[in-house]
């Protein structure tokens, strides 16, 4: 019996890794994609799986489009399968996920990241209530709560993004406990890979240092170097997400390494791997958040015990992989510039 999966946010970092993971397990993978002139499939292209994804046009801000997509997948219309013999799973990853941007676009953030989850859950409940659905939540919901944070830690969101993610988790619990929906949540700590968007601090660091290494940039300007995060490799995150939805009972699980490291530690190690002096790094108060979150470190004991999940990639290896990836990219760019070849 071949399983099917619908992924919202399939073109994002975690979405593309998850799509590859599910394809390797012989799933038929569908991706919810907002209609645009040129779909942003760069991450899927990087994995070499773009032509293996069945894209479906839909938007988390549009109830009608979600109903159309779920109706089609629930009934098997024009898809050549019997939905009864082809179970469907929904992985909801799509969000406006950049914390600083959420301060400048709070209404949009709440609508897509919070209310968008409500639209999806209600559509699933009305059309295909037997579907298993994974709801992506974030460690940002804990804010300044004492570390380590686990599933019982009170929420203390300190950004519109964090508030929207807390709303998503509460909604999932309501639909699970009040309506019997199989809605499981992953409270995921910072997830990294070469596909991390460049507006996030880790990728900003590794890309900028690589550009400095090859003379394409002079300096790296960062905000709060003392903020500590629990950084995790994307393959480990995806493995945990999959295990959460395969668990017999819907529940909430923290996915984290249990170790925290400061931005300062990250940049120092990245400078070492890139062979770039730390003196090229500067700080600016203008890059601090309006409300800082000093320390996020997760306690994933529940996932260890019930899911038998363990992260494999340690912090130094995570940094090294990201640095090496960006060094290769920027070296190629420099060679192209020397040879006057368009990049």
- Would residue 168 show up in a list of annotated catalytic residues for this protein? no
| Helical ranges in 275-314 per DSSP H | 301-307
Mean pLDDT of the residues in the chain: 94
Q: CB under 8 Å to 130, separation ≥6 — which residues?
A: 182
In contact, 56 and 69? CB cutoff 8 Å: yes
Of 21, 161, 175, 242, the active-site residue reads 161
pLDDT at 34 (0 to 100): 87
**Per-residue pLDDT tens for 65-106?**
999 999 999 987 545 555 555 789 999 999 988 898 999 999
pLDDT confidence tier of residue 319, bands split at 50, 70 and 90:
very high
Measured distance CA(109)–CA(95) in Å, rounded: 8
E strand segments, 122-249: 132-138, 182-188, 191-192, 220-222, 228-229, 232-233
Catalytic residue among 16, 97, 138, 260: 138
Domains in the chain with CATH codes: 4-192+231-255 (3.40.50.720), 201-229+259-291+314-338 (3.90.25.10)
Count the alpha carbons within 13 Å of 67 in the hemisphere toward its beta carbon. 5
| C-alpha dist (Å) from residue 309 to 34, 96, 252, 254 | 33, 27, 14, 11
Catalytic residue status for 177: no
CB atoms within 10 A of CB 308: 8
Q: CA–CA separation, 302 vs 293, rounded Å? A: 24
Whole-number Å distance between alpha carbons of 149 and 147: 5
Q: Is 161 one of the catalytic residues?
A: yes
Query: Is a pLDDT exceeding 60 seen at residue 37?
Result: no
Indicate if the alpha-carbon torsion angle 219, 213, 43, 266 is positive or negative. Answer: negative
Say if pTM beats, i.e. exceeds, 0.85: yes
Catalytic residue among 89, 140, 192, 330: 140
What mean pLDDT comes out for the span 101-112?
Answer: 94
């Amino acid at each position: 019996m071949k399983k099917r999966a619908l992924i919202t946010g399939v073109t994002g970092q975690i979405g593309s890794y998850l799509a590859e993971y599910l394809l390797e397990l012989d799933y038929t993978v569908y991706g919810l994609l907002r209609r645009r002139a040129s779909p942003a499939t760069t991450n899927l292209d990087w994995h070499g799986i773009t032509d293996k994804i069945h894209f479906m046009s839909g938007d988390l801000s549009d109830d009608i489009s979600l109903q159309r997509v779920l109706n089609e997948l629930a009934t098997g219309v024009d898809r050549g399968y019997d939905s009864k013999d082809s179970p469907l799973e929904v992985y909801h990853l799509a969000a406006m996920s950049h914390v600083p941007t959420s301060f400048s676009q709070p209404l949009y953030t709440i609508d897509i990241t919070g209310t968008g989850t409500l639209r999806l859950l209600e559509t699933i409940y009305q059309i295909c209530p037997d579907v298993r659905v994974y709801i992506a939540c974030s460690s940002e919901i804990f804010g300044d709560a004492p570390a380590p944070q686990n599933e019982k830690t009170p929420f203390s969101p300190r950004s519109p993004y964090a508030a929207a993610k807390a709303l998503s988790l509460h909604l999932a619990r309501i639909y699970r406990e009040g309506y019997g929906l199989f809605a499981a949540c992953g409270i995921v700590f910072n997830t990294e890979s070469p596909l991390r968007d460049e507006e996030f601090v880790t990728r900003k660091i590794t890309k900028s240092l690589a550009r400095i290494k090859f003379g394409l940039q002079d300096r790296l300007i960062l905000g709060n170097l003392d903020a500590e995060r629990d950084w995790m490799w994307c393959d480990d995150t995806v493995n945990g997400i999959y295990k959460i939805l395969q668990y017999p009972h819907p529940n909430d699980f923290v996915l984290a390494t249990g170790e925290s490291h400061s931005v300062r530690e990250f940049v120092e190690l990245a400078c070492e791997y890139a062979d770039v002096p730390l003196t090229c790094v500067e700080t600016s108060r203008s890059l601090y958040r309006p409300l800082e979150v000093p320390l996020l470190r997760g306690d994933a004991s529940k996932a260890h015990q019930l899911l038998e999940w363990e992260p494999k990639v340690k912090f130094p290896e995570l940094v090294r992989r990201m640095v090496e990836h960006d060094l290769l990219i920027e070296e190629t760019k420099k060679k192209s510039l020397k040879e006057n070849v368009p990049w």
